[in-house]
Copies of this chain bind each other. A is one copy, B any other.
Amino acid sequence: MPEQPFVFESRVRFGDTDASGRIFYVSLLNHFDAAEAEFLRHLGVAYREIQDRKVGFPRVRVECDYTGALVYDDLMAIAVTVDRIGGASFTLAFDVTVEGRNAARGKVTIVAIDRQTHRPIPLPGNLRAALETYRDGSSASSPM
């Protein structure tokens, strides 16, 4: 993990809340969607660049634990880390804090597929390289 993980800031919007007065649990995952896109852009492998008519990137698994309150207008800091890099898929982890207080932690697994056959294919080389570089960030920056 890099010493400074990528952090995406995102606000809880009024439409994200529910009648409990807090964020609706599903709505938080839309912020993960945004964080994922900005994270990959930050790595130089934005979906719009690497996605084409041949390759798609469906999500095949999501999980999230909600550990603290998130209310209207909270400015969330969503730290993104690389949890796992597989042959045809990778998993990102999202840590949500508000003013340093933990609020949620989730993971999303994305698989690369051939859009014609809908079958998994090896992760594109530049995506894999970018994920590995980011994951190994802290060791790479260490003296030896």
Question: Interface on A for B, CB 8 Å cutoff?
Answer: 11, 13-15, 17-22, 24-27, 29-30, 33-34, 37, 46-48, 56, 58-67, 69, 71-73, 118
Contact = CB atoms under 8 A, between A and B. Distances in A.
Contact of A24 (B15, B47, B71, B118): B15
A111 B36 CA distance: 28
Nearest to A108: B25
Contacts of A48: 72-73
A66 B61 contact: yes
5 contacts: A18-B18, A25-B58, A25-B59, A47-B73, A60-B67
A9 to B, nearest CB: 13
A68 to B, nearest CB: 10
A24 B16 CA distance: 9
A19 B14 contact: yes
B20 A18 contact: no
Contacts of A60: 65-67
A128 B60 CA distance: 32
